[in-house]
Amino acid sequence: MNTLLPAEFADLEPFAAKWCLATEPERYGTRLASTTEEMQVFYDAVTPRAEAAMAYLSELPYDALPDDALNLLYLLYSMIQASFPAEIWRQPRVPDTGATSFDCFIEPVP
């Protein structure tokens, strides 16, 4: 079986294919294309594991993360992208913004 995440985070593997995304535009686009329910399930699964994921990643060199660890970092970035929609807005888009969008030109670098 092809896995994207470290074995310690196998419970999050069902979310990996959709949410392990390298760029902010991909993460934002996935957020907008997801239902509120999908984001809530994803957010509820990842949030309790976030501290363990950060501890796992802190033991590795950020400038040379193995692919599975890099995917775990991307999964955390996506969890952050889904946090406001899941916790506050209860919808993928920012309320009362119509068709407004923003572009991110600088990505966080592991």
- Please state, in angstroms and rounded to a whole number, the distance separating the CA atoms of residues 81 and 92: 10
- Please state, in angstroms and rounded to a whole number, the distance separating the CA atoms of residues 9 and 12: 6
> pLDDT for 13-60, tens place per residue?
999 999 999 998 899 889 888 898 998 999 999 999 999 999 999 999
pTM of the model: 0.81
The single-letter code of the amino acid at 20 is: C
Two structure tokens written together for 72: 């775990």
- Please state, in angstroms and rounded to a whole number, the distance separating the CA atoms of residues 98 and 95: 8
- Please state, in angstroms and rounded to a whole number, the distance separating the CA atoms of residues 85 and 100: 16
Between the alpha carbon of residue 109 and those of residues 6, 7, 76, 105, 106, the distances in Å are 20, 23, 13, 12, 9
> pLDDT for 71-110, tens place per residue?
999 999 999 888 776 665 555 555 455 555 556 565 666 6
